[in-house]
Amino acid sequence: MSNFFNKSDLTRQDADKIVSETLNNCDDGELYLEESKSESIVLDDNKIKSSNYSSDLGFGFRAISNEVVAYSYSNEISKDSLKNSSENLKSTLKSIKGTYNHEIPKSNKKFYEDINPIEQKSLDSKLEVLNKVNDFLRKKDGSVKQVTASFAGEQKSIEIIRSGGEALTDVRPLIRFNVSVMLEKNGRKETGVYGIGGRQSYDDYLKNDNWKNVCEEAFRIASVNLDSKPAPAGEMKVVLGPGWPAILIHEAIGHGLEGDFNRKKTSAFHDLMGQKVASEGVTIVDDGTIDNRRGSLTIDDEGTPTERTVLIENGILKNFMQDRHNARLMKTRSTGSGRRENYRHIVLPRMRNTMMLSGNQTQDEMIKSVDKGIFAVSFGGGQVDITSGKFVFNCTEAYEINNGKIGSPIKGATLIGDGPSILKEVSMVGNDMMLDPGIGTCGKAGQGVPVGVAQPSILIDKMTVGGTKL
Amino acid sequence: MVKDQEFLKSKASYCLDLAKKMGATDASVTVGHSISETVNFRNKSLEASDRSDGLALSIETYLGKRRSSISSSNLLDENIKTLIEKCFETTKITPEDEFNSLPDKNLLAKQISSLNLYDETRFENDKKIKYLKDLEESASSNNQIINTESSFTENKSNFILANSDGFCDGYKTSSFTTSCVTVAKDENSMERDYEFSSKRHLSDIKQAIDLGNKAAKQTIRKLSPKKIGSEKISIIFDKRISKGMLSVFASAISASAIARGTSFLKDKIGEQVFADSINVIDKPDIIKGMGSQNFDAEGVNSNTLQLIENGILKNYLVDTYNGKKLNLQSNGRSGGTTNLYFEKGNISHEDLMKKNSRSLYITETIGHGSNLVTGDYSVGATGFWLKTENLNILLMK
């Protein structure tokens, strides 16, 4: 746990006093203190390409009245610096008065340990794993032309001080191990990428030589793509595999259910609460409480304990994801979804682990039911236009389906759809829900936060596939 | 006030001295300070204000051909000392890499000419508020516009880059950026579009009323879109698409992608990669340019590069490390491109739009569908059927 008050002339008493005095006439706000330590070690092109260590310390001071948010941050934690920020907030809110809401829910539950993963594994042993990965893959097959492997680790300590002196703390570990391999055969080059991670120590993820499985998976994806042929184009049926493909749900549906877009009425979902937005059998939750998951949080970045929020239940829209600010303006409660990338950024309602729950059909049944379509197993990046609801996804591993059978792998297929209508096209929900391997980062308003996704196999009756084969 | 050169220089030399004292054979350090103030508006009233004040330090230490780096935002001498110790300890156990080195001394920038990148004008938040009021007033004057969001950001930065070969330089820059996002609605649809203006000098920023008008106009014309079928068709890309396309191109010709063999443009120097009417240039010395620089992230002098000449690939973007790997001299592109652009051709916008009897005019793309290894490009797109009606979304490839 970081002690933020032994670093300068700022004492806790000073901080409490400045916070309370600044937020006295505001509706909400807090002082957010953060110290993070992070490392990144990359092996690339047969060498340790970089090893970087970074330490960051700072505060963000926020005051909210009515609809106006004033924010000021600095990486100098001192009495003067905090006073300057306070003046800055007061000058923005000078003509708007509010009543401070002292209420904040409490919980004793923790979803990860207070560890510093960087210190738990020596640099030597990290370098050793990276070199093993490189040797293993290059020896495995002559087609391997490039290998990149990396470790990224972080420990972030936060403290939230609210008006009246209430303080809330959290220590958040996070690691990621990633392997990327490029193969070349008959003049064609393809890459495969796979990674694992979460809020435990490196060795929790690497035990039993698990790094080999990561290598095998990256290699398998690249091999499949070496034999891929051009993707078909047009509207067709799409079967999504379990796990990571749920990133499509995250983009297409999740963002549209974040409180801010709905308060501002810019989301295609803003007037659909209580209505049927998905096929029966479709239930989607956003859950911050799964042990050690990348998207899990003990408390969110406003201090609210996280929860399992039901967004869509059996096709009916039940809840939006809320931070305190949007919840207050929409006269509802925070769902513990207030997040920020770090102290440099304001809090926004964000996703944690977004999951579509299992139904009772099998992937086999889905494939068999499709005459002509696509089976999408893994995705690269995706993007959504919240207002029109349109989204786009690029498949990194996908296959044709012909007459109920999985056919050749296809390259570069893009899936295009429309958020509000896509879930109504779900006609089968599998019994095989799977969590992603712990690699997702969600971007919104220039802020990246770690997230998780999960889903079973699903069959979507109609989706536009962007390919070159007409 | 943004910290002055003296302050930054003293921190930089403290770091270099310390690294040397600990036994580093070489070191380089960047120290920067940046202050930003943003005001956000929504539907004609104040929504948020945001002030940021950030110091940043990054250090690389070398022990022969071993190298590692650290970065921090905490510039207290005590913290710096701990970090440099940690950095140097890491360097000692990091394997050697024959290509690790500071840039060649004779390539370092010598004369720093003024590119007029700093405007000291303070644009107080009250003035930003007035600007955004006018902007949103004009953006929402059409009743099909149901939501407006806009912001104005003022930034002042200063930095020093120093290395143990004696390079020590830096300069102040400023930027003023304003943008407006509007949402329009009709009985069939809801659409979003935007307009922005970003300049080094305040006086060059677009008039608030013009900016708001343009955002609204661009949004309203997207209403009631239709989906189109699959076909092969000629496409006209709006200027706005160039940023996405050029940034993909820049990644594909970066020396790092070339050296790793993971770019579809590897070994393509001297070959035709674009139509012969295409020229692509990266020019670092445009006066007041948003991407202008006197030297790159390693202190290497950067000159104008003709990347594509009549469709032929002429240059990669080379930094010191990857340059040594490829046996090429750095051309001052550590940190990437500067002001990168397609040179204009000789057909007017109007004539271009009339050139084909039937074509698609693309104004926005979404998705991350570029594959640098294979050169495949597949994104979602919004645009218009030329001459006929407004259409929306489908693939292109």
Q: What pLDDT score does B66 carry?
A: 94
Q: Does the pLDDT value for residue A95 go beyond 90?
A: no
Q: What pLDDT score does B18 carry?
A: 95
Q: What pLDDT score does B395 carry?
A: 37
> Percentage of chain A with pLDDT > 90?
84
Question: Can you list the domains of chain B with their CATH numbers?
Answer: 5-220 (3.30.2290.10), 235-396 (no CATH)
Least confident of A351-355, A363-367, B92-96: B92-96
- Average pLDDT score over residue span A161-176: 96
Of residues A53, A72, A346, nearest to B86 (C-beta): A53
Q: Does the pLDDT value for residue B118 go beyond 90?
A: yes
Is residue B77 less than 8 Å (CB to CB) from chain A? no
Of residues A56, A72, A346, nearest to B72 (C-beta): A56
Least confident of A95-99, A454-458, B19-23: A95-99
Interface test with A, best of B59, B366, B372, B392 (most A CBs within 10 A): B366
How many of the other CB atoms lie within 10 Å of CB of B271?
10
Q: What pLDDT score does B394 carry?
A: 41
Q: Does the pLDDT value for residue B62 go beyond 50?
A: yes
Q: pLDDT digits over B247-303, tens only? A: 999 999 999 999 999 999 999 999 999 999 999 999 999 999 999 999 999 999 999
Please indicate whether, in this complex, the C-beta atoms of A191 and B393 are within 8 angstroms of each other: no
Q: What pLDDT score does B393 carry?
A: 41
Please indicate whether, in this complex, the C-beta atoms of B192 and A387 are within 8 angstroms of each other: yes
- Average pLDDT score over residue span A58-79: 94
- As for the ipTM of the complex, it is 0.82
Please indicate whether, in this complex, the C-beta atoms of A468 and B397 are within 8 angstroms of each other: yes
Is residue B73 less than 8 Å (CB to CB) from chain A? yes
Q: Does the pLDDT value for residue B336 go beyond 90?
A: yes
Domain definitions of chain A by residue range: 117-159+168-226, 234-466
Size of interface A-B (CB pairs under 8 A): 208
What is the band of B362 on the pLDDT scale with cuts at 50, 70, 90?
A: very high
- Average pLDDT score over residue span B137-164: 96
Q: What pLDDT score does B387 carry?
A: 62
Q: pLDDT digits over A358-395, tens only? A: 999 999 999 999 999 999 999 987 888 878 888 888 89
CATH 3.30.2290.10 corresponds to the domain A117-159+168-226: yes
Q: What pLDDT score does B93 carry?
A: 87
State how far residue B245 is from chain A, nearest Cα, in angstroms. Answer: 16
Query: Could you give phi then psi for residue A29, rounded to 5 degrees?
Result: 145, 170
- Average pLDDT score over residue span B207-223: 96
Q: What pLDDT score does B396 carry?
A: 34
State how far residue A108 is from chain B, nearest Cα, in angstroms. Answer: 32
Q: What pLDDT score does B390 carry?
A: 47
What is the band of B386 on the pLDDT scale with cuts at 50, 70, 90?
A: confident
